[in-house]
Amino acid sequence: MKKKVSLADIAKSLGVSKTLVSLVINNKADAHGISKETQQRVKSKIREMDYHPNVLARGFRMGKTNTIGLIVSDISNRFYSRIARKIEDYAWSYGYNVVICSTEEIIEKEKEQIYFLRDRQVEGMIISTSQDNCSFFNDMYVSGMPHVLIDRVFAGMKSPNVSVDNFGGARMAARHLLNQGMKKFALIAISPDHISTINERISGFVETLSEADINIPSKWMIRAPFDQIDITVRTTLQKLFQEDDLPEAIFTLNNNLTAICLKYLTDLKVNIPQQVAIIGFDDSIYFNFTRPTISSIQQPIDMLSEKAFDLLLKQIQKTAIEPHLHSVKLPVDIIIRESSLKPDAL
């Protein structure tokens, strides 16, 4: 693996040209009418000398790196790691590698990472952005850098994108709670407060409630900074449960929030859903065996990843993207379990 045998070494030791060897390696020998016998000689020499093409050099020469980038806020979040896995599978099947980057929701870091990947000539990127508007990506789109925005999107953006129906999902959650006669709600989101998914979920929830003439008091609209979710949720819940006036249900806006919220509700010995019901955005296998089991909005992660990769590949291959696929919004499901049921329904 070490000796760094090059194509030239093979050619020399065989007394043939580099062209010949290159042709054989790339299966273009037949097309060029290279004799079977020569081909065999080359092939066995390659094996003999344990030659491995320098893919980097080839990529450099051909302007193809066979690498794509995946940029998300945090690869250890299961939502993103599942996306990563799917993207990786598709990528691998097309001969691509994927480079991962976690932005920690820091806009500057995200930009830096995108620039870095671009300078390294990745052929495309799939991005769940932390930015607060699409001008950066519109420029990128105009510049011709293949990319697709995933999960988090903006109105009026030019880049191909695929997301889920956050608004509709939140609406489902709200309706489900309203249908059971609940009237008092709290909502826990993360900040920064320009994340599109979070805002769409908030809108969906809030608007649906207001159609029923219900508002969420501002003290129950909770924002936990991305890097301080744990402590924020803990102190907020502690304070909340010191008061007499409690919400009937809490809507947690992503999987981390749901988990952390449940952890501290448990610590506080709050009965779910008797004292307070809960429903989260983004499902987890664990929600099946907590007691109570946890209701949630389930996202079509596999489909999301598949569509995203497909859109990226089309750009890389310069295949036209049908207009109706340029911006895809996927439906979500509500999984009703015990945590969101009115106590008397249990």
Partner DNA sequence: GTGAAAGCGCTAACAC
Partner DNA sequence: GTGTTAGCGCTTTCAC
Considering CB distances under 5 to 8 angstroms, the limit depending on partner class, which of a second copy, DNA, none binds residue 318? none
Map residue 323 onto helix, strand or coil: helix
Write down the least CB distance from residue 276 to DNA, Å: 59
120 in contact with DNA (CB under 7 A): no
Partner from DNA, a second copy, none binding residue 34, C-beta < 5-8 Å depending on class:
DNA
C-alpha 23: how far from chain center? 40
Whether the CB-CB separation of 224 and 191 falls below 8 Å is answered with: yes
Which region, left, alpha or beta, applies to residue 232 given φ > 0 means left and ψ of -120 to 50 means alpha? alpha
By the rule CB under 8 A, 218 interacts with a second copy:
no
Stretch that binds a second copy, among 119-127, 200-208, 232-240, 314-322 (CB under 8 A): 119-127
Check residue 346 and report its DSSP letter.
Answer: -
23 binds DNA (CB under 7 A): yes
- 320-327 — which CB contacts under 8 Å span 24+ positions? 321/160, 325/160, 326/160, 326/161, 327/153, 327/157, 327/160, 327/161, 327/162
Neighbours of 182 (CB within 10 A): 19
Distance from C-alpha of 55 to C-alpha of 86, rounded to nearest angstrom: 24
For residue 7, the partner it binds in a second copy, DNA, none, with Cβ less than 5 to 8 A by kind, is DNA
Q: Which stretch binds DNA (CB under 7 A): 33-41, 137-145, 191-199, 280-288?
A: 33-41
Q: Indicate whether 97 belongs to the interface with a second copy (CB under 8 A).
A: yes
Residue 49 interacting with DNA (CB under 7 A):
no
Judged by CB under 7 A, the stretch of 16-24, 194-202, 269-277, 335-343 that binds DNA is: 16-24
- Provide the sign of the torsion angle of the four alpha carbons 298, 299, 300, 301, taken in this order: negative
Coil, helix or strand for 298? strand
Give the nearest distance from C-beta 44 to DNA in angstroms: 15
DSSP reduced 3-state for 262: helix
The bridge status of strand 124-127 relative to strand 147-150 is parallel
Q: Which of 46, 265, 308, 332 binds a second copy (CB under 8 A)?
A: 265
Q: Per CB under 8 A, does 78 bind a second copy? A: yes
Query: Can residue 81 be called a binding residue for a second copy (CB under 8 A)?
Result: yes
What crossing angle do the helices spanning 78-93 and 301-316 adopt, rounded to 10°? 40
List the one residue from 54, 180, 203, 293 that touches DNA (CB under 7 A): 54
Q: Which residues sit at the interface with a second copy, rule CB under 8 A?
A: 1-2, 52-57, 59-60, 65-67, 74-78, 81-82, 84-85, 88-89, 92, 97-102, 113, 115-121, 139-140, 143-145, 259-260, 262-263, 265-267, 284-286, 288-291, 293
Interface residues with DNA (CB under 7 A)? 4, 6-8, 15-20, 22-23, 25-26, 28, 32-35, 38, 53-54, 57-58, 60-63
